[in-house]
Homo-oligomer: A and B are copies of this chain.
Amino acid sequence: MNLHFDPETDLRLTRQMKAAPETVWRCWTDPELFAQWFAPKPYTVSKVNYDFEPGGRANLTMTSPDGKDIPLQGCVLLVEPARRLITTDALREGFRPAPDPFMTAEILFEPKNGGTLYTANVYHNSVEAKTRHEEMGFHEGWGIVAEQLDDLSAAL
């Protein structure tokens, strides 16, 4: 189904990428590739544990430049290979409710101009949550990692 994007509560990042959707998708679903682009440098990804099916885990650990681990846990909701991926932190593995729901992310991989039009739609439940996400540096952070993803997928 088409999700409803509400500019009041939701955030969007788009980027035209050089590689084809299948290659950009591979950078999402191959854990070794994923770890190379998902954290905005100098942060790194130290652990990746995804299970790409509805209800599967979407867990990873980021490590800050001073060595602090930041574990992130979520759940995979929808998998359309090389087309669309939806995950949320409102649920954990096995669709179990999470204590602190914040966002659902929908990633779209559309073939365009010989490459991929990459879109990340991020859904929140309030204007306040959206604003908080913007203040946490959504546009900069997601922009940096999209650039890293573009570079990595183009080099494969």
Binding site for B on A (CB under 8 A): 1, 3-4, 51, 53-56, 77-78, 86, 88-99, 101-104, 106, 123-126, 129
Contacts and interface: CB of A to CB of B under 8 A. Distances in A.
Given A54-B77, A54-B78, A86 B95 contact: yes
A125 B96 contact: yes
Counting every copy of the chain, the complex holds: 2
19 contacts: A1-B54, A1-B55, A3-B96, A4-B93, A55-B77, A55-B78, A77-B95, A78-B95, A88-B91, A88-B95, A88-B97, A90-B91, A90-B97, A92-B125, A94-B123, A95-B123, A96-B125, A97-B124, A99-B125
Q: Which of A89, A90, A123, A126 has the most CB of B within 10 A?
A: A90
Contacts of A95: 3, 77-78, 86, 88, 104, 106, 123
Q: Which of A4, A56, A91, A97 has the most CB of B within 10 A?
A: A97
Contacts of A97: 88-90, 101-104, 123-125, 129
A98 to B, nearest CB: 6
A101 B104 contact: no
Contacts of A106: 95
A77 to B, nearest CB: 6
B123 A96 contact: yes
A27 B100 CA distance: 34
